[in-house]
Amino acid sequence: MVTATTAELLERSLAGDRLAFERLFRPLYDDGFRLAVAMLSDAALAEDAVQDALLNAWRKLHTFREGASVRPWFLTIVANQCRSVRRGRWFSVSRVADVEIPMADPATADRLDLEAALRRLPQQARLLLVLRYYLDMSFEEIAGVVGGSPSAVKSSTHRALVRLRRECGQEVEES
């Protein structure tokens, strides 16, 4: 079986081949959804954001730099779409927890703590933590999403982590 390379799929996508585009981006759908759901805390909104991000990716494919990695490029578009959704006035109603969770379970308490603490962080800090600790991206890859150097991203991520721990009411352990 002949497997088309990323470069070939990109070239075919640019020529208008939507199946090539789908083969290129479908493996990234789940990552896009996970990022969106962590940024928006809402599965329905996250689905919408990823769909819009895919549309934007299709429209902006000509801006993709040859040799760059597709994953951070796509996740950048997803992150921007999430920012746009959060800004949108027409959507501005609150999110409320989907289900009642008994508080006795320590794991549940952690989950609620983390979710609440993340909500209090600035968007950029939340994005850094999600990319690093949820999508398990390297600092080099994260820099490809948020811009800046990997070392600057590492510092910013550390500051975001310190702030998250503070928001969780924890002792801050400098490392």
Partner 1 sequence: MEKRSFDEVELRGAFRATFDRAQPRSDAADRAFEAVAAAGAREGMLGRRLMGAVAVALAILLIVVLQIQRGALTVPRPTTPAGQVPTAPVAPRATPSTAAGGPVNRPYPEMVVADGGQVALAGWSRTGQVALSQDGGATWTKTRPAAGTELSILDLQWVDDDTAYVSTTDGLYRFQRSTGGWAKLSSRSDLVRIDMRGPLTGFAVTGAGQVLETADGGQTMATRSVGISPVTWIQWVSASNLWAAGPQGVVASADGGATWSRQLTFPTDARNGAIGTAQVGFRDESNGFALFDVAGAAAGSRVYAVYHTSDGGATWTAESCSCGPVAVPDWLARNARPGLPAAPHGALLVTGATQAMLVTNDTAAGITSLCATDDSGGTWTCRPVPFALTSGALVVRGRTLMLAATAASGPLLSVSMDGGDTWTTRTI
Neighbours of 117 (CB within 10 A): 19
Two tokens at 140? 């080099």
Question: 121: buried, middle or exposed (CB in 10 Å: 19+, 13-18, 0-12)?
Answer: middle
Length in residues, the chain: 175
For residue 153, which of 175, 122, 123, 131 has the smallest C-alpha distance?
131
Smallest distance, partner 1 to C-beta of residue 102, A: 15
CA distance 172 to 110: 17
Smallest distance, partner 1 to C-beta of residue 3, A: 20
| Residue 66 or 173 with smaller CB distance to partner 1 | 173
Two tokens at 51? 């769909």
Q: What is the CA radius of gyration of the chain?
A: 18
Smallest distance, partner 1 to C-beta of residue 119, A: 5
**DSSP at 64:** P
| Residue 110 or 140 with smaller CB distance to partner 1 | 110
Residue with tokens 């390297």: 138
| Residue 21 or 146 with smaller CB distance to partner 1 | 21
| Residue 41 or 76 with smaller CB distance to partner 1 | 41
Instruction: Give yes or no for a contact between 168 and 114, defined as CB atoms under 8 angstroms apart.
Output: yes
| Residue 37 or 125 with smaller CB distance to partner 1 | 37
Smallest distance, partner 1 to C-beta of residue 155, A: 16
Residues that bind partner 1 (CB under 8 A): 14-16, 18, 21-22, 25-26, 29-30, 33-34, 37-38, 41-48, 50-52, 54-55, 58-59, 62-63, 84, 86, 88-96, 98, 107, 110-111, 113-115, 119, 129-130, 133-134, 136, 161, 164-165, 168-171, 173
Smallest distance, partner 1 to C-beta of residue 116, A: 9
